[in-house]
Amino acid sequence: MDKVFDTIIIGAGPAGLTASIYAKRAMLNFLILEKWLPGGEIANTYEVENYPGINNVSGAELADKMIDHTKELGVNITLESVDHVEFEGDIKKIVTDRNTYLTKTVVIATGASARKLGAPGEKELSGRGISYCAVCDGALFRNKVVAVIGGGDVAVEDAVYLSRVAKKVYIIHRRDELRAAKREQEKMFAIDNIEPIWDSVVGSFNGTEVLQSLTIKNKKTGVISDLELDGAFVAIGMNPNVDYLKDAVEFNDGGWIVTDSLLETSAKGVYAAGDVRNTPLRQIVTSVADGALAIYALQKYL
């Protein structure tokens, strides 16, 4: 008979890595699957200033520390992408790009990915001047003119980061005030080469081979103008990474996985942790807390 794991953790970001630490310490027979690089979204984060006990650390450093912690405990991360799942019955099936696994419980910790704007030219010029990760691609725009599109924490963080590399950074927001934390806004407004463009939306991304300009519409005045630049960083939020789940669990209207207070989904024995679920706060600290709670809860279930 095929081996049946106690649990399979899908995703090795902060939530999944923490779940693996708790699973190892609970001596569970488990697998942790990761489709890309362990560390998740924090590996793309320039600076983390709000994780207790570790101040002013780069996201990559914090990710390395978490991965080292799991290695010290003897956790092996299996680099496979989950393609589809079957959650009916007591034994669940997880099908990856290479194998099929059986398990009594599952921790879904696949996080979220950057949302697209959906404007004309975005698809064609993506990777040719349009980016969704300032930390990954910012260095390509040394002494160039760039824009960040968005008004939340990530948009402001991106603008601050890019101001150290680029000659000029516009931050384009559809309202006349930002949603980002006040402290981060103050930091940003104190930087000379950052200029906000308020009440404006991007109508199109223009360029033949590479991005050359944005067409912008001011929502209050109706004025349409072209902004010449070299790079645009879209920072308008995230979508959950749940395609592989199809309809195996319940989602809310935004597409996030619905869980109860012990992080169990609508499928018995299947838990969701971190950014992928319907949590009001998507941060490292909340994701690691979820990873721990999911293992606690599934042990009770087992």
CA distances from 181 to 157, 163, 185 (A): 10, 18, 6
Between CA 181 and CA 198 the distance in angstroms is 17
Binding mask 85-114 for ligand FAD (x = CB under 6 A): ------------------------xxxx--
**Based on CB atoms, which residue is closest to ligand FAD, 17 or 216?**
17
**CA torsion angle for 255, 34, 156, 185 (degrees, to 10)?**
90
Residue type (1 letter), 12:
A
**Based on CB atoms, which residue is closest to ligand FAD, 41 or 216?**
41
Q: Does 259 bind ligand FAD (CB under 6 A)?
A: no
Annotated catalytic residue, options 6, 83, 97, 133 = 133
| List of long-range contacts for 44-50, beta carbons under 8 Å, 24+ apart | 44/133, 44/135, 44/136, 45/135, 46/134, 46/135, 46/157, 46/161, 47/157, 47/161, 48/284, 50/283, 50/284, 50/285
| Whether the Cβ atoms of residue 208 and residue 123 lie closer than 8 Å to each other | no
**CA torsion angle for 186, 188, 193, 198 (degrees, to 10)?**
-90
Q: Does 283 bind ligand FAD (CB under 6 A)?
A: yes
Query: For ligand FAD, how many residues bind (rule: CB under 6 A)?
Result: 36
Mark whether 133 is an active-site residue: yes
Shortest distance (Å) from residue 220 CB to ligand FAD: 29
**Based on CB atoms, which residue is closest to ligand FAD, 50 or 225?**
50
The only residue of 155, 275, 289, 295 in contact with ligand FAD, by rule CB under 6 A: 275
Segment interacting with ligand FAD, rule: CB under 6 A, options 1-9, 86-94, 192-200, 282-290: 282-290
Provide the pairing of β-strand 224-228 with 112-114.
Answer: unpaired
Annotated catalytic residue, options 137, 153, 230, 275 = 137
CA-wise closest residue to 17 among 45, 39, 47: 39
Segment interacting with ligand FAD, rule: CB under 6 A, options 6-14, 169-177, 224-232, 255-263: 6-14
| Element of type H or E holding 21 | helix 14-25
Q: Helices (H), strands (E): how many in the chain? A: 7, 17
Annotated catalytic residue, options 68, 83, 97, 136 = 136
Mark whether 158 is an active-site residue: no
Segment interacting with ligand FAD, rule: CB under 6 A, options 38-46, 215-223, 247-255, 294-302: 38-46
**N residues, the chain:** 302
Segment interacting with ligand FAD, rule: CB under 6 A, options 173-181, 223-231, 249-257, 268-276: 268-276
Q: Does 185 bind ligand FAD (CB under 6 A)?
A: no
Binding mask 138-177 for ligand FAD (x = CB under 6 A): ----------------x--x--------------------
What is the DSSP secondary-structure string of 28-57?
--EEEE-SS-TTGGGGG-S-B--STT--SB
| Whether the Cβ atoms of residue 278 and residue 257 lie closer than 8 Å to each other | yes
Q: Does 36 bind ligand FAD (CB under 6 A)?
A: yes
Residues that bind ligand FAD (CB under 6 A): 10-16, 33-36, 40-42, 44-45, 48, 50, 81-82, 109-112, 154, 157, 241, 244, 274-276, 282-285, 287
